[in-house]
Amino acid sequence: MTPAESRVRRLLTELRRQGVGDARVLAAIERVPRHLFVATPFLDQAYENVALPIGRGQTVSQPLVVGLMTQALAVGERMKVLEIGTGSGYQAAVLAPLCRRVYSIERHRPLLAEAEARLRRLRIHNVTCRLGDGSRGWPEQAPFDRIIVTAAAPDIPPALIEQLKPDGLMVLPLGDVGGIDQELVRIAKSPAGLDIHPFLAVRFVPLVEGLPEE
Ligand code: SAH
């Protein structure tokens, strides 16, 4: 086993120990080379269970959080998934082998361009990204089986609830935008309404409305 392989092994063992039991999710994480998604100064930490900077004040989530969010999303092979906050493209790359297509929205143009380049390089062809304010969703592609939001908001953006299929699931960090006191929640939509289930205390960057000035 090479040193890189043993680092990946160690990370997967850690994720399993902390509750990521879904074999498909673990296999997807095993296959995505996270070192391609982090900035050079942080290469040596690419397979540590830590969030890392990706530029523009943003971060790629901790692998455990990616694992637990992906698992909570219960993605099926034929599903259409919407991601808000493309960032580095790492979460989208993990979702790609688990579903039919991922649509991902990012508000920072340079991050979006870098993420698209990484996905191309890895020959991941079922992820479509675009620039925009993800809190409005992607109406042209709606409805979605699953929606994952990787930036925190105090409330669930109404457009995302509308664009979720009647029996769809959404996973997102909700809470204080200052960064403390956020929780990951899984939301199940049904004719009876929304069933909201918190499952992990987290700290995400904020979901910001509109586009940055360039
Ligand atoms: N899923 C990413 C995590 C990136 S951090 C990854 O795997 O790397 C969250 C990202 O959400 C940031 O890149 C940030 O710019 C973006 N973001 C914040 N608010 C947004 C909005 N309203 N619309 C789209 N993207 C947004």
CA distance 25 to 22: 5
Confidence of residue 176 (pLDDT cuts 50, 70, 90): confident
Stretch 13-22: mean pLDDT, rounded? 98
- Cα of 19 vs centre of ligand 1, distance in Å, is 25
pLDDT in tens, 96-146: 999 999 999 999 999 999 999 999 999 999 999 999 999 999 999 999 999
Mutate to test the pocket of ligand 1, among 84, 90, 131 (most ligand atoms within 8 A of CB): 84
What is the residue type of 213? Answer: E
What is the residue type of 189? Answer: K
What is the residue type of 207? Answer: L
- Cα of 96 vs centre of ligand 1, distance in Å, is 17
Query: Would you give the DSSP letter of residue 152?
Result: B
Is the per-residue pLDDT at 179 higher than 80? no
CA 188 to chain centre: 18
CA distance 52 to 58: 8
Q: What domains does the chain contain, in order, with CATH numbers?
A: 64-202 (3.40.50.150)
On whether the CB atoms of residues 73 and 148 are closer than 8 A, the answer is yes
Active site residues: 61
The reported pLDDT for the residue numbered 21 is 97
Reported pTM: 0.97
- Residue 104 Cβ inside 6 Å of ligand 1? The answer reads no
- Cα of 201 vs centre of ligand 1, distance in Å, is 19
Encoded tokens for 117: 């380049």
On whether the CB atoms of residues 81 and 93 are closer than 8 A, the answer is no
Query: Would you give the DSSP letter of residue 153?
Result: B
CA distance 110 to 97: 25
- Residue 106 Cβ inside 6 Å of ligand 1? The answer reads yes
On whether the CB atoms of residues 114 and 58 are closer than 8 A, the answer is no
